[in-house]
A and B are shown apart, each in its own frame.
Chain A
Amino acid sequence: MRKLLFSLMLLLLCSSLSARSLGYGVGFYGQNVEAEPERASSGAEFSLVYKPFLLAFLNPSLHVKNSVGTEMDGEWVAPYWEVGMSVDLIRIIDHPFNFLAHNVIAYTPSVSVAYQYDPRRNLSLASVGFSPFKLSQKDFWYEYFSPFLTYDLKSGELDSWGVNLVRYTFFFK
């Protein structure tokens, strides 16, 4: 864990702050916990994102996320905190979805890996995610229907799965 954090910090420090590198995001998630279905929750997800580069292939970014939602019984919970890294696999500018945006928008599907902490169960998890419908402008990301899986770091077993129905990230600096 320390190595991961150290690596992330190193990447952050080594990379020059190019224009529009820092952003925040708001999304809507739904998550199901395999062993405890009553802990299934849905709600809002907030994120801070740092993207130091604008690479056409394998463009990395770092994120910190927090979710706030309600469980099946209506109780308010913060089911996960997350720190991790995403990689935009490829950037395609000529695609059929350009009509959706005011300006030229890139199709940038991404994958992510992250450390996740579930404060309800004091549980450390590894999360993997995929954003197949991610559209990017230099100052804005639009992500839809992004599934994720989490694994118990101790047992290595699948712990939960979920979907980020929508997530908008705005890069302000």
Chain B
Amino acid sequence: MRRLLLVFLVLLTLIVASGCTTTTHHMLNPIVLDPQVSLDEKLSAYSIPKVQVTFPKVYHDGLKWRDRVIELIEGAEDYLIISAFLASSSEDLQPLYDALARKAESGVRVYFVVDGIGPFDMTETRFHLIPLKFLRESGVHLLEFNPISSARLVSLFSLLDRDHRKYLIVDGKHLAMGGMNLNYISIGARDDNLQRDSMYEFYSPELVTLLLDAFVPWWNEQSWEEIRREDFQVDETVAIGMKTYDAWYVDQHPGSDKVSALFGSMLAEAKHEVKVLPFLPFMDSNMIEAFRTASDRGVQVQMIIPFDKRVTNRKGIEYMVKDLRKMQIDLRIEKESAESQRLLHEKLMIVDDRYVVIGSTNINYRSFNLAYETSLVIDSEELAREVEKHFDELYKKTVSITEAMAEAWQTFANWPRFAVGFFGG
């Protein structure tokens, strides 16, 4: 009897613990590191598809992106798919959500995914947070991914799985992805609460097809309001006559090795220079080792850690810095200034003035292991030149992190903040 009970409890423990995995060792996989294997072959080995994309329009201003989103919503004729991680209305965002409601009422199908962590938003947004449930009355198909409630505490570690993707598809034609949420601090605030971030809008029938192929079964796995792939058309003509670029797209799921393989491959591909905006760099030892390996090969790696005015986050990152210095890279932190009061939420990696990695993925343990993410590598020297200018402007307002700073920051009092950031940041 006791033996049976023991087996039962062991089985339950295994099930519960199965949610805790790491995939970052794929950044150091021999295939990923092999200089004889081409980037294309490495990514193919991980089933990371190659697509063609047009030159993107880059938005660095949340308010301008908000206006563009409203414009895209108002122009929609058939369907809109929005994934936003954090999304809520506020006085400043009322025009956007009114436009969305009107569109749904007019018969356009609107599928809107937000993450269940949204109601626990501890940023300035919490003072400007109107939940989006009202959109359902207009016919918007709103899905809150993995909601957090007392009952759902039963799902234990699965509560760590979050949908962090940010993208928008309009009528199978317009496509945008990047780091901006659809809440107050991302696209609504008119003061220093507005985050610095980026969104990229471009055309790519191939990528829209990939996104839809993934979205429909994913949606049906979550919702009783089932949809059919054939009801979402793709405009195959939209990029005809436009110059296109090679790109590789990762639709990362919790526990998937793809994002690790992608970033590992990009670091291994680097020959002279890597520039990185990681947002919250809570890295594990494999990630640190992957950067160190690139640095050992003589690659000049520049990484900018944002100045985070949120004390808990800042102290957690500061605790991590001593370990990050093991990467032996040019590790910088933004100076505290009027500009850096606006949090640098952007995620970006530029490799050898050629490859630009964009999307929702932070360079940290959580994004690589516990979240749904989008990552897109665009092979474009023109785009690399454009975003490098932006990176270099940011770089000018940073200081190098010294050993003395790192030593002083890694205090026992900051460890809980680090631990929270590592799994939750």
A contacts, CB < 8 Å to B: 19-20, 22, 24-26, 46, 48, 66, 68, 78, 81, 91, 93, 101-106, 119, 137-140, 142, 168-170, 172
Contact = CB atoms under 8 A, between A and B. Distances in A.
Interface of B: 1, 4-5, 8, 11-12, 15-16, 18-19, 116, 142-144, 147, 149, 151-152, 154-155, 158, 217, 221-225
A172 B147 contact: no
Contacts of B154: 25-26, 168-170
Given A119-B1, A140-B155, A142-B151, A103 B12 contact: no
Given A24-B12, A46-B8, A103-B144, A172 B158 contact: yes
A103 B222 CA distance: 9
Nearest to B116: A102
B119 to A, nearest CB: 9
A46 B12 contact: yes
B222 A81 contact: no
Contact of B11 (A48, A106, A138): A48
B15 A106 contact: no
14 contacts: A19-B217, A24-B12, A24-B16, A46-B12, A78-B5, A93-B225, A103-B223, A138-B222, A140-B151, A168-B154, A170-B158, A172-B15, A172-B18, A172-B155
B425 to A, nearest CB: 23
A102 B223 CA distance: 11
Nearest to B154: A168
A114 to B, nearest CB: 16
Contacts of A81: 4
Contacts of A119: 1
B223 A138 contact: yes
A138 B116 contact: no
A104 B224 contact: yes
B42 to A, nearest CB: 29
Given A102-B147, A138-B223, A169-B154, 15 more contacts: A22-B15, A25-B154, A48-B11, A66-B5, A101-B147, A103-B222, A106-B224, A119-B1, A138-B224, A139-B221, A140-B151, A170-B152, A170-B155, A170-B158, A172-B19
